Structures are given as structure tokens and as C-alpha cells.
Amino acid sequence: MDNILTIWDNLSFTWWWLAAVYPFPWIIQLLFGKANTQQTKPIYMPFYRQLTQAASQTKRRSPVRSILLVIAWSAFVISVTRPVYYGEPISIPNEGRDLMVAVDLSGSMQTQDMIVNGQEVDRLVMVKTVLGDFIQRRIGDRIGLILFADTAYLQAPLTFDRTTVEQLLSETVIGLVGDSTAIGDAIGLAAKRFTDKPNVNKVLILLTDGQNTAGNITPDQALTLAVDQQIKIYPIGVGADSMVVNSLFGQRQVNPSADLDESLLTRLAKDTGGQYFRARDTDELQQIYRILDKIEPVEDNQQTLRPQHAMFYWALLVALCASGLLTVLNWANREFNWRVEV
């Protein structure tokens, strides 16, 4: 009983005033549906027994038709009043952040110097694995995704749909936008997407494993745009410090991150009020994202949202089903009467 009362309390009728048409069929029948009382002469009926059987069948089915008519009409009237069910209130942040994530897809990101779940994987796989969890935690933030290599491309505009952003990230592959590294273009594109948004916190998380080797604008030019628009940049340098490789002279230890321009990334963070991080393995990257959750937390101010679910089509479905049953019953009755007459 309590569940029924709860459902009724959460139900609203958008066009409730259309319920006034409900008594119209009975009013019309009362005014214009008087039976014809004209007397007729008795006639001889040769198939009296069969006809009485048909009449009795009709009488027995008549209440069913009446009930179906009432159900069909009632359901139709309910559907036109547009019932809406309001779900449980959901608290969402009153103000969020515009958080743009720029991921390097240059050829060096396929270097297999990372370990995920005990398996050796390339840097992009590790980034996608850890970054996906970070994106899902950013409730209330608008998140966008930029992919860059020879130049920068907007893969996902700023949106509250975190699931779609994570899906687009998981579908990225090495070489999708070239083999070089256009860090300046990635920052410039992020600044462009942040334009005309003065009342939000603007954050750019830049993941790269190299140095700027391509692009239409330099990192210094992009940095000027970021400072003017008050964008905080959190660069993350991805790549291990050492790894063992096989050569003609046997195994040797190399630094796979020798090309990482840490001085540039540090300056980008310092001049914009962000912080530079170094991700040498999966654990460090996970720790970086936990730090970012504290540095750029989700806004605590809450407002309530109640999801709406249209219910009119259920009532319309009931009306159609009842009308269909009425049609079947009428057809069956006519078929029965025809057979009796024959």
C-alpha cells in the first residue's frame, strides 16, 4: 500500500484539464441514445432455438464488451492528459568544472614499458585504463577529450556524458592523428574550447611522453592563450625511466623517456597555476589522479534534479489492446450469428 501511495505522489498529469472529456460518452448516450420504442408486428421465426442461443451468447458477452469499452476510453483519456512519473531526487553540483583532457597519440606512445594487471602493455593502454576511472569519478564536471600528434583534434566536446567520453577514449589507437607531437596545438585547441566561459574553473590535463615536434602554434604561444583565459594546466609526463631491450650485443638498459621535455611541461604548469606530474608506471598515474581529485575537487554545492519518465504510452498501449479485443469479439460474434443463420 505504501508503494502505491509513493507512486501516486510521484505521478503528475501535464494536461490534467483534458480529463474533463471523460464523461462525454455517457452524456451523449443519455441525450441521444434512447432506444427505439416503435411497436412492430410479430413475425414467424423458423430457427427460433438457434436464434435464442445466439441471443443468449450475445447477452453473456455484453458485459465484457462494456468493460473493454470503459477500459479503452479510460486509458485513452489518461494518455492524453500526459502522465509523467518523477523519479527519486538526484543531487548534482551547482557549479562544476570544465575539464579538458589532451592525450598524446604520437608513435612513441606505443612503447611497451608499462605493466597493467601483470602484463606488459604500451603507454596508451595504461593511460586509457587509468584515465577511464578518473573520468567516471568527475561527477558534475563537463569533460572534453583532445587527441594530438601531428596536430590536435577535438574527439569529444565538453559534456556531462562521462560514459561517452570514456568510450571515445577507449577507441583511440596509435597513429590516428599522425606520429609527431603537437603540444602547442593541443593547448591552443583547449583554449579555443574554453572561450566565452568566464564563470567556470578551466582545467587542462595534458598527457604526453615526448617534446613538441609539430603543430601550427608553438607551446609558448599556446601558453600565452592559456594564461589569458586563466586555464590551469596539469601536464603528466608518461613513460618509464629505464627498460631492458634486446640488441645484437645482448640485452641492455635504456631510458625510453629520453625525449620527454620535462622543462617545458614544468613551465606550463608553473605559469598557469597547475602542477607537473611524472607517471613512470601505473601506480604513479593512479596516484596522480587521486591528487588531482583533491586539487580540483568536484564542487560541493548541490542542487536537486528529479528525472522525468513519460508514462502516456503505457496508457495508450492499454487502450489499443482493449480496442483490439473489442474488434476480435465483434468479429467473432458476427461470425457466430452468420453460422446460426446459415
Instruction: Return d(Cα 165, Cα 290) in angstroms, integer.
Output: 19
Q: Do residues 165 and 286 share a domain?
A: yes
The string of pLDDT tens digits covering residues 120-133 is: 888 898 888 888 88
User: Is residue 137 included in any domain, yes or no?
Assistant: yes
* Averaged confidence pLDDT in the chain: 79
Query: Both 250 and 319 in a single domain?
Result: no
Residues 51 and 183 both lie in one domain: no
> Is residue 125 a part of any domain in this protein?
yes
* Choice among 90-99, 148-157, 181-190, 298-307 with the minimum mean pLDDT: 298-307
- Count other Cβ atoms within 10 Å, centred on residue 17: 8
In the chain, the number of structural domains is 2
**Quick one: 124 and 265 in the same domain?**
yes
What pLDDT is recorded for position 47? 42
Instruction: Using the structure block, give the residue that is written with the C-alpha cell 483534458.
Output: 18
Q: Please give the full DSSP string across 71-122, using - where no structure is assigned.
A: HHHHHHHHHHT-EEEE---EEEESS-EEEEEEEE-SGGGG---EEETTEEE-
Q: What was the pLDDT predicted at 37? A: 46
214 and 334 assigned to the same domain: no
What pLDDT score was predicted for residue 220?
94
**What pLDDT does 205 receive?**
93
Report the C-alpha dihedral over residues 208, 211, 213, 214, rounded to 10 degrees. 40
Q: What phi and psi values does residue 83 have, to the nearest 5 degrees?
A: -70, 140
Residue 300 has pLDDT above 70, yes or no: no
Please tell me whether residues 266 and 128 are part of one structural domain.
yes
Q: Are 74 and 96 found together in one domain?
A: no
pLDDT at 210: 87
pLDDT on residue 228: 92
331, 228: one domain: no
pLDDT single digits (tens) 316-341:
898 889 888 888 877 776 655 545 44
Identify whether residues 53 and 121 lie together within a single domain: no
Where in the sequence is the domain holding 331, given as residue range(s)? 2-20+47-87+307-341
Contact between 279 and 288 under an 8 Å Cβ cutoff? The reply is yes
8 A C-beta contact, residue 277 and residue 233: no
Q: To the nearest whole percent, how much of the chain has pLDDT over 90?
A: 26
Give CA–CA dist 149/123, Å, rounded: 15
Residue-wise pLDDT tens digits, 7-35: 667 778 888 888 888 888 888 878 876 54
Position with higher pLDDT, 54 vs 88: 88
- Across residues 129-153, what is the average pLDDT? 89
* Residues 308-322, mean pLDDT to the nearest whole number: 84
**Residues in contact with 324: Cβ distance below 8 Å, sequence separation at least 6, in sequence order:** none
What's the mean pLDDT in 287-308?
Answer: 72
Q: Do 137 and 168 sit in the same domain of this protein?
A: yes
Q: What is the 3-state secondary structure (H, E, C) of 31-80?
A: HHCCCCCCCCCCCCCCCHHHHHHHHHHHHHHHHHHHHHHHHHHHHHHHHH
* The pLDDT of residue 191 is above 80: yes
- Amino acid at the residue 304: T
128: domain CATH number?
3.40.50.410
Would you say residue 272 lies in a domain?
yes
| Whole-number pLDDT of residue 6 | 62
Do both 61 and 138 map to the same domain? Answer: no
**What does the pLDDT read at residue 342?**
47
Residue predicted with more confidence, 168 or 282:
168
281 lies in a domain? yes
Q: What is the pLDDT of residues 36-60, one digit of tens each?
A: 444 455 554 444 454 455 455 544 4
**pLDDT for position 304:** 66
Q: Is residue 238 part of a domain?
A: yes
Angle at 96 between CA 94 and CA 99, to 5 degrees: 170
Report the length, in residues, of the chain: 342
Residues 52 and 113 in one domain: no
